[in-house]
Amino acid sequence: MKRDETDILIAGGGLAGLTAAAALGTAGFHVTLVDPTPQVTHADDAGADLRTTAFLQPAQQFLEAAGLWTALAPHAAPLQVMRIVDAAVEPHVMRDFDAKDISDKPFGWNLPNWLLRREIVARLETLPNVDFRPEVGFDRMVARTKNAIVTLSDATQVTAKLVIGADGRNSAVRQAQGIRTQTLRYGQKALTFAVTHTSPHNNISTEIHRSGGPFTLVPLPDHEGKPCSAVVWMESGAEVQRLANLPQGALENAANERSAWTYGPLNLVSKRMVWPIISQVADRLTAPRTALVAEAAHVMPPVGAQGLNMSLRDLDCLLELAKAQPGDLGSAAMLNAYARKRHPDIMLRVAGIDALNRASIAGNPMVQNMRARGIEALYGITPIRRSLMQLGLGAG
């Protein structure tokens, strides 16, 4: 059987896989990207991903190097202030973490996922060294001394020096390499949708805590001349399913009450989507000729905008190692270096987000009071506040 040859095969055409292909292709590597699903690049297409993603400062720099940011910037809503509100105590505790305390740039920028897909796919079409194959998936692979032979779902084969598993929390690449995961389940789900409101968001991302998980309003560009935000509403699985099935007016009433009327009346302007909340970490990040990235390697609750930003740190690490020694692509030395660099950061951030999420779930009044006092204490000590903001951006 004739085999195509490539430097890098990426399995998974989600945001992480698409961005990996753009970054590695821009760096000059020959890349084959496969994904078993059709690419959806418009908001009204069936199966469109209506969630949003907040890119923090280091992620924006990575996107710029990949040739993506110029196209994305006009659609991005800046995140200047991260506001935390504990509405479980009286009076409510509210503290603003302002990016100007540590930087002359916003913390990050928020973009709709369907639009990200559209612009990244458009970028891939300009790169002759990137072969993107939607509706073709990873089937199996055999790792050899100098390369790997990958068999795809259409029965074709590709020889690659490095295989990147960017194919999600149920990664076929990870399973093919016999890598297990450690999974924590919280009994939570997230309901996501977009709303317009009467008061401007002023580029403030607002995270409101009571119990069951945070209710987060993330700035979006105006919709039909009205201020607009993305909502991520975390609650128990049963409660999220109930909310997802409410008539529009009833959901809006519930969202207004849960948001403490932060921006005035909220009006639903998108479809609703439901996502399970887990923490999951792969036992290993590598196998012969294979590196795991993004949700194939780690999954976290959507707290603190860490998810995709951690994924881009994985990609940045792989890219720097690949550029440093292109002749060593996919070798044991390169993969061992990747695991050494990424594993401590992944474990630190997964543990931190797990602790924050457990605190946000708490329904016990004593725990809620401790949570509120903790917010006040951390905010009140300037060096600690600044250190936490830097850590959230990816420093340290």
CB 81, CB 96: distance < 8 Å: yes
Domain range enclosing 212: 77-107+186-277
Whether the CB-CB separation of 279 and 356 falls below 8 Å is answered with no
- Quick one: pLDDT at residue 382? 47
Integer Cα distance of 113 and 41 in angstroms = 9
- Nearest C-alpha neighbor of 12 from the set 357, 290, 231: 290
Euclidean distance between CA atoms 166 and 293, whole angstroms: 5
In this structure, the answer to whether residues 16 and 97 fall within a common structural domain is no
DSSP 74: G
The structure tokens 């004593």 sit at 366
> In this structure, are 244 and 138 located in the same domain?
no
24 Cβ contact list (under 8 Å, min separation 6): 7, 8, 10, 31, 319, 322
CA dihedral sign of residues 336, 130, 139, 185: positive
Give me 346's structure tokens. Answer: 């992944």
Query: 102 and 194 share a domain?
Result: yes
Give the number of other Cβ atoms within 10 Å of residue 343's Cβ: 17
pTM: 0.88
Q: How many CB atoms lie within 10 A of CB 140?
A: 14
Domain boundary among 277, 309, 325: 277
Please indicate, yes or no, if residue 380 is contained in any of the structural domains.
no
At residue 91, the pLDDT reads 62
Q: Are residues 84 and 121 in the same domain?
A: no
Secondary structure of residue 62 in the 3-state scheme: helix
- Shared domain for 23 and 62, answered yes or no, is yes
User: What are the tens digits of pLDDT across the range 227-270?
Assistant: 999 999 999 999 999 999 999 999 999 999 999 888 989 999 99
Q: Is the domain of 27 the same as that of 161?
A: yes
Residue 376 lies in a domain: no
Q: Are residues 203 and 273 in the same domain?
A: yes
Does 348 lie in the same domain as 209? no
Number of domains within the chain: 2
Q: Report the pLDDT value the prediction gives residue 302, as an integer from 0 to 100.
A: 81
From 256, 277, 298, give the residue that closes a domain: 277
Task: Please tell me the predicted confidence (pLDDT) of residue 200.
Answer: 95
Q: Which residues of 13-25 are buried (b: 16+ CB within 10 A; e: fewer)?
A: bbbbbbbbbbbbb
Examine residue 44 and state whether it is found in any structural domain, yes or no.
yes
Determine the pLDDT at residue 249: 97
Kindly state whether residues 296 and 197 are assigned to the same domain. no
Q: Phi/psi of residue 111, each to 5°? A: -140, 145
Note whether 58 and 160 are same-domain residues.
Answer: yes
- Within this chain, do residues 98 and 243 fall inside the same structural domain, yes or no? yes
Of 245, 277, 309, the one marking the end of a domain is 277
Residue 54 located in a structural domain: yes
- Estimate the crossing angle of helix 15-26 against helix 307-324, to 10 degrees: 30
Tens digit of pLDDT per residue, the chain (396 long)?
568 999 999 999 999 999 999 999 999 999 999 999 988 777 677 667 768 888 888 888 899 999 999 999 999 999 898 888 876 666 667 777 788 887 888 888 999 989 999 999 999 999 999 999 999 999 999 999 999 999 999 999 999 999 999 999 999 999 999 999 999 998 999 999 999 999 999 999 888 887 778 898 999 989 899 999 999 999 999 999 999 999 999 999 999 999 988 898 999 999 899 999 999 999 999 999 999 999 999 998 887 667 788 899 999 999 999 999 899 999 999 999 999 999 999 998 888 888 777 777 765 454 445 444 444 444 444 444 445 445 454 544
Same domain? 16 vs 50 = yes
Give the CATH number of the domain where residue 31 resides: 3.50.50.60
Please state the separation of Cα 327 from the chain's center in Å: 31
What per-residue confidence (pLDDT) applies to 42? 75
The pLDDT score that the predictor gives to residue 388 is 47
User: 62 in a domain, yes or no?
Assistant: yes
The token pair at 55 is 């890119």
- Give me the CATH number covering residue 219: 3.30.9.10
